[in-house]
Amino acid sequence: MIDRFESQMRAMQMLSRAQEVTADNLANINTPGFKGSTLFYRLLSENKDGVQSQRTVPMQQTDFSQGELEHTGNQFDLGLNGDGFFMVGEDNENYLTRDGRFRLDNDGYLVNSSGAKVQGSSGDIHIPEYFKTADLYGNDSSLVIAKDGTIRINDQVHDKIRIVNVEDTSTLERRGNAYFSVSDQSMLHESESTEVMQGYYEKGNVLPLHEMVDMMRTMQMFESQQRAISSTDETLSASINSLGKF
């Protein structure tokens, strides 16, 4: 009877975890480049006091499927068509991201919304020439970013955005809503197939309807476990009362 309580409690804990993941996915529907998470369950064997047993453990994984590319017309918005990642530097650390909503800061560095500097062929992308070559009437310079990431200002090549692929995306660790990090730098390789789409950004790959269906299903299963625990408790109480009469 006690074992039944334990299994029901574990089931409720796993369902609670699943609900947290779904809630996080829904909260980031409008986060550019966001990659949703899913749960899968792994059966683990353990030996406790000489007794062999198995238990199911929830494991979280990130869905790296392509998100929809939204056209904005903004020359600093960049979307990735393929499996690659932008690399940005922040607080002396480099991170991978699919969020390509960039801008130029006052010093001419290409940065994201957090101020992290976008990495190019030789480090931080620094193109103050964009400001210097604006004409006397205040018109912007011509900035064109090719599909391979090459940056041209008024037809002059200035840098190339670094786009990297990861050998095994399951090794990536999520850092906030938009960043990922990799502990083994040898897993990174320059991407040759990912296309940079200027004037676009990648929307999150979360499907709201799918997440809402999952949330309702998880809630129903959670309520079912609650009723099962209540039933088990009533059965246990009845058994104890019956024993007490003897």
Q: Residue type for 112, please? A: N
Residue 127 lies in a domain: yes
pLDDT per residue over 117-176, tens digit each?
A: 999 998 999 998 888 776 544 566 789 999 999 999 988 999 999 999 999 998 999 998
Same domain (yes/no): 120, 232: no
At 188 the pLDDT is 93
Same domain (yes/no): 126, 17: no
Instruction: Give the residue with greater pLDDT, 53 vs 90.
Output: 90
Percent of the chain past pLDDT 70, that is, above it, reads 81
Domain boundary residue, one of 202, 221, 236: 202
Strand 85-90 with 117-120, pairing: antiparallel
Instruction: Give the residue with greater pLDDT, 231 vs 34.
Output: 34
At 15 the pLDDT is 82
Same domain (yes/no): 165, 244: no
At 60 the pLDDT is 84
Q: Which has the closest alpha carbon to 18: 214, 224, 171?
A: 214
Under 8 Å between Cβ of 128 and 114 = no
In the chain, the number of structural domains is: 2
Residue 159 lies in a domain: yes
Which residue's structure tokens are 């779904």?
Answer: 22
Q: Which has the closest alpha carbon to 18: 215, 172, 193?
A: 215
Average pLDDT, the chain: 85
Under 8 Å between Cβ of 130 and 153 = yes
Judge whether residue 183 has pLDDT over 90: no
Show the domain range for 86: 69-202
At 86 the pLDDT is 97
Tell me the mean pLDDT in the region 207-223: 85
Q: For the CA atoms of 44, 45, 46, 51, what is the dihedral angle to 10 degrees?
A: 150
Q: What is the pTM of this model?
A: 0.79
Judge whether residue 99 has pLDDT over 60: yes
Q: Residue type for 120, please? A: G
Residue 23 lies in a domain: yes
Same domain (yes/no): 211, 89: no
Banded pLDDT at 216 (limits 50, 70, 90): confident
Same domain (yes/no): 175, 97: yes
At 231 the pLDDT is 72
At 219 the pLDDT is 80
At 138 the pLDDT is 59
Same domain (yes/no): 92, 123: yes
Instruction: Give the residue with greater pLDDT, 132 vs 179.
Output: 179
At 82 the pLDDT is 95
Same domain (yes/no): 93, 170: yes
